[in-house]
Structure 1
């Protein structure tokens, strides 16, 4: 399925996502589309913000090994405690925020977003779809080299609450495998498409060593409301701990590309420290 088809499909699916997503278990959070995010206190402390990138790191030899096919066997991921709700914000002293981008990578839009982030020495999170990674592995290699964090956003961007457990596992596991091949490490974060969570997604994510990450501010850029509106939503929603949701694929993202060129310098000039979570080791 082509990613640009998701723009049309998203409008249909979001209408039923609320009812389906709520059918999982108590504590399930459904946020996305035209709905306002639901703020929930996570069972565990939110991830502590990591340092803002000051310069692009050198290419990782560890990342290159899997690409050549001579890397060590994949180690089993560390299992995590199963959460009942996704993480919606980041913790840490000061004016920290985090930018996240979903549905990519896309060769027409992702490079421009990466260029803007590099210009201001800022790192971000990219929740990628496996089917998009297959033909754009070089973009994940660039994300690794420039210090960005890559998360799992499933293989085909389905509404997970309509799938059985085996299907959900396949969507998540295949994506983690291709991320490791292209990025050099297995993802430590997962985001459910459309913000539709249920018990199986939390359990399987924890089994695969991934924490569930949602968002605080939805730019709703997927509706292509205009660059100025996207900028205003992000700037007006700025606050310590905020996680911003935007997109670098799934449709025409030219407005998103133009918007980050405006709101990123504004956030920095306003004293915000754009950052990513600390990487778990071991």
Structure 2
């Protein structure tokens, strides 16, 4: 009897289950064998030109971490800790690492100083100095020198023209121009008779030619005034330099004629030709510009009576009278003075000097 005749016959369902179980066991054995072989021999290495889809990052697909020397290392068995560093050119061990580019080595960074560390950087050129300047800064040695102050205005006390007496009230100041000359001695004699004091405005050249008369005037207690070197007219038209010469040189001539201690207190411009410029020049020399308030025009020789009448009509208390003791024939002036001196005394006038 054939052998199959003695074997127990199985039913079709049982055979199907057996075949299914056998196939499953074969698949499982093949899978386990393939996995073991791939792990040992790198059987899962992707073939050239084949792209394997990457799976979402999980515990086993973490990016390689940099080792102590900055060389990427392969993940360990669990993918969470550092593994053995891979040699250069070693193949990747998973699809995830095959498709993920290796991260670039981190750039070295310079550690920042602590927030509390003092800064050594210099402030920029436009920054203010770290310390506040002193309240009062001393002048710099290289600073540009300040410009000279402007000259005083024409109406300043030192440069203004005097037209009144020093004391005011019922006083009069007699002034004599253009000397000293032939009439000066006679004028001095008349003034002495009445105890009158006067001011003599002298031409520099005349003072230099008559030093004895200059000394006599000073000795009698009278005052001196600068009236230019040679009486140029119109004096107001002179240049600055010429006016300066006329005033300064005349002052020197008068002082030299009068001797040591001679003082010249005023300057009278010839013809009254005052300007702001020559007034400043005079003030710079210590001379006060001197004008007048009474002018009988005795220089024109109108007659003694006319001279007397003009003075009597024009004079007011504190006035300055303009007369002449030089520059020509002054006999009319001397004659008029003989009448005016007693009249002034009778009117209660006291003799004074100009202001300044």
Q: TM-score, normalised by structure 1?
A: 0.68
- C-alpha spacing 1:120/1:261, structure 2 compared with 1 (3 Å): same
User: Which of the numbers 242, 248, 269 marks the counterpart of 1:192?
Assistant: 269
CA deviations 1:153-187 (Å, max 9, x no partner) are 00000122222111111111111112112224231
Structure 2 gap ranges (5+): 1-152
Whether 1:99 aligns to 2:174 is yes
Higher helix share: 1
2:209 aligns with 135
1:175 aligns with 250
2:196 aligns with 122
CA deviations 1:70-126 (Å, max 9, x no partner) are xxxxxxxxxxx4x2x4111125353111000111110x2110001000111111001
Whether the 8 Å contact between 1:152 and 1:172 is mirrored in structure 2 is yes
Structure with larger RCO (C-alpha < 8 A, sep 6+): 1
CA deviations 1:121-162 (Å, max 9, x no partner) are 111001000111111111110011000001000000012222
The 2-side partners of 1:94 and 1:205 are apart by 27
1:274 aligns with 351
1:112 aligns with 186
Whether the 8 Å contact between 1:176 and 1:186 is mirrored in structure 2 is no
2:229 aligns with 155
Whether 1:234 aligns to 2:308 is no
CA deviations 1:193-214 (Å, max 9, x no partner) are 0001112211110110000010
The 1-side partners of 2:201 and 2:321 are apart by 12
Task: Report the secondary structure of 1:219's partner residue.
Answer: coil
Shift of 1:223: 1.1
Matches for 1:1-282 after TM superposition, within 5 Å: 43-44=156-157, 81=158, 83=159, 85-106=160-181, 108-159=182-233, 160-183=235-258, 184-277=261-354
Aligned residues: 201
Show structure 1 runs of 4+ deviating over 6 A: none
Task: Report the secondary structure of 1:218's partner residue.
Answer: coil
The 1-side partners of 2:249 and 2:263 are apart by 11
The 1-side partners of 2:217 and 2:346 are apart by 24
